[in-house]
Structure 1
Amino acid sequence: MEGYSLNQWLLFFFIYCFIGWIWESCYVSVENKKWVNRGFLRGPMLPIYGFGAIIILVATIPVKENLILVFIFGMIAATILEYFTGVIMEKIFHVRYWDYSDEAFNFQGHICLLCSLAWGAFSILMIKVIHPPIEYIVFMVPDIIIEIMALFILVLFTIDTVQSVNDAMDLKDTLARLTEGNETVKHIKKRLEVMAAFINEDVKEIEEKFMDKISVNQGKNEIRKLSRKQIFERNLERSNKRKTEILEFMSENINKYMGKLENVADKPTQQYEKFKAELLDCLAKIKKQEKHVSKMESKAYIHSINILRRNPGAKAKKYEEAMKEVKDLEKRPDI
């Protein structure tokens, strides 16, 4: 192991990225009962396994003849890698791409005892079974071929990483915008209820309109024939239409309340001015939110959905409601 060249290390990294992708994709596909192209990247590679394999190789070099120490060193090294990778990714993208919160003896949901033990078992399996034949094959390949292969795969890997990071940033921005919009609507709804009570207006209309669902005009058979892309486009159109309806309804009520506020008898000037300022502020927020709805590009939603398909267990505690909204965009609606 000590005598590997940089290109050989790169090739080992890519090989284990691919092996990890095969394992994770098969495991998650069986669990979800449908094929899942698992991982952060678009292509057939899972970097956490590549880095995990490399760090295990490095960590176990001094103790490779002692299986117990290989287990312990490999487990500790890979667990530390998994923990800091999870923390950093969540910090950057505000999404947890794997979560062990439901597992026993987990730490902050990023690592857990069972997975750490699995890393230890994988360390022994890799050092004693998997790596020797891979090492033999790589040593058989001429250095010039190794260099070309490593460079070629590195270019593809870099392109994929850049594209996937853009997908993750689109998901982050989409979740942030949706959350901001949802919170704005909820805030305005509460203020409208206060205003309605102040001018003796029935607040039930606001609640009913806010909770109302858009009617579905297509039948079951027609929906079943829709492709995944058509389902997404249809759901996105319905979602945006619904948000626009809510905002328009709120705007209408604010304008109506502004007029009725003028006719409230014996109103304290200070309270009147306060309510009027709040109504005008609500109108400004509605206009801003309407612009957000119109500017939300389907491309950002598509990128968001694609990376969530590859990571069906992804969670975003800060954006839980928005995450569900994005995932629901490709669900076939119930009739």
Structure 2
Amino acid sequence: MDMSIYHRINCFFLFSFLGYLLECAVLSYENKRPVLNRGFGHGPFCIIYGFGATGALILLKPLSGNPVHLYFAAMAMATFMELVTAHMMIKLFGSFWWDYSRKLLNYKGIICLESSIAWGFLGIFYFRFLNGFVNQMAGMIPENLERLVAMSLLIFYLADFIYTMRIQLRGDCDDDDTSMIGRLKVY
């Protein structure tokens, strides 16, 4: 099926939104209190999930028929993405936005076996259900609005990203500017 670039952008943000919901749910459960802000900026997006979904579609699709190979490849890909993302954040901000240091078999709080195992299952879930569901949801956007929705999401996210990046690089954020400061793992 040939999809427009706008459909792909809308899927990217749907995956990013679902990743945001997953992060909030898991952390709310683990912390026994509501956790509502898990993205880099102020909007409800964890774009690493959008990139992960896009990467999985490109890199892992050939393995989608073999659950064992898919599991280990998804586990490795997502763990590598966490590692690279954390190192980029450490270089930019001197910190990263999660902390696995209390989990067994972790590396500097950046990656851990528990999350890596979960990423493998998420990869299988992605190919068995989630990718089709998200494509179907994005397909519900009327064709004449698909471009507007995609461009609006891109503009919103870019403005939010630039604003948040400016705050972070200046180092003058407070609780009114962003709630990220409580999530930082200083490295």
Superposition TM-score tier, normalisation by shorter sequence: 0.7 to 0.9
CA offsets, 1:243-272, max 9 Å, x none? xxxxxxxxxxxxxxxxxxxxxxxxxxxxxx
Distance 1:67 1:34 in 2: 34
Partner of 1:64: 64
Residue 143 of structure 1, CA deviation? 4.2
Alignment check: 8 A CA contact 1:59 1:74 kept = no
Partner of 2:80: 80
Distance 2:34 2:137 in 1: 34
Letter in 1 for 2:112: C
Q: Specify every segment of 5 or more residues in structure 1 that has no aligned partner in the other structure, as ranges.
A: 175-299, 318-335
Residue 305 of structure 1, CA deviation? 5.9
Does residue 307 (structure 1) correspond to residue 180 (structure 2)? The answer is yes
Distance 1:301 1:88 in 2: 22
Letter in 2 for 1:12: C
Does residue 7 (structure 1) correspond to residue 2 (structure 2)? The answer is no
Change (3 A) 1:109 1:304: farther
Distance 1:92 1:304 in 2: 18
Letter in 2 for 1:7: Y
Change (3 A) 1:119 1:35: closer
Distance 2:90 2:155 in 1: 26
Higher-Rg member (1/2): 1
Letter in 1 for 2:107: F
Q: When the two structures are superposed, what TM-score results if normalisation uses the length of structure 1?
A: 0.51
Partner of 2:166: 166
Q: How many residues align?
A: 186
Residue 86 of structure 1, CA deviation? 0.6
Distance 2:28 2:105 in 1: 26
Alignment check: 8 A CA contact 2:41 2:161 kept = yes
Within 5 Å, give how 1:223-262 maps onto structure 2. none
Q: When the two structures are superposed, what TM-score results if normalisation uses the length of structure 2?
A: 0.87
CA offsets, 1:254-291, max 9 Å, x none? xxxxxxxxxxxxxxxxxxxxxxxxxxxxxxxxxxxxxx
Partner of 1:178: none
Change (3 A) 1:34 1:137: closer
Partner of 1:18: 17
Distance 1:79 1:34 in 2: 25
Residue 141 of structure 1, CA deviation? 4.4
Runs of 4+ in 1 over 6 A off after TM superposition: none
Alignment check: 8 A CA contact 1:67 1:124 kept = yes
Tell me how large the CA RMSD over aligned residues is.
Answer: 2.2
Distance 1:35 1:112 in 2: 21
Alignment check: 8 A CA contact 2:175 2:181 kept = no
CA offsets, 1:296-335, max 9 Å, x none? xxxx4345762224x2xx2214xxxxxxxxxxxxxxxxxx
Letter in 2 for 1:155: I
Distance 1:164 1:303 in 2: 12
Alignment check: 8 A CA contact 1:28 1:38 kept = no
Does residue 316 (structure 1) correspond to residue 179 (structure 2)? The answer is no
Q: Specify every segment of 5 or more residues in structure 2 that has no aligned partner in the other structure, as ranges.
A: none
CA offsets, 1:152-198, max 9 Å, x none? 1111111111122123224xx35xxxxxxxxxxxxxxxxxxxxxxxx
Alignment check: 8 A CA contact 1:168 1:304 kept = no
Change (3 A) 1:163 1:305: closer
The structure that is helix-richer by fraction is 1
Distance 2:156 2:178 in 1: 22
Of structures 1 and 2, the one with the larger relative CO (CA 8 A, separation 6+) is 2
Change (3 A) 1:100 1:148: same
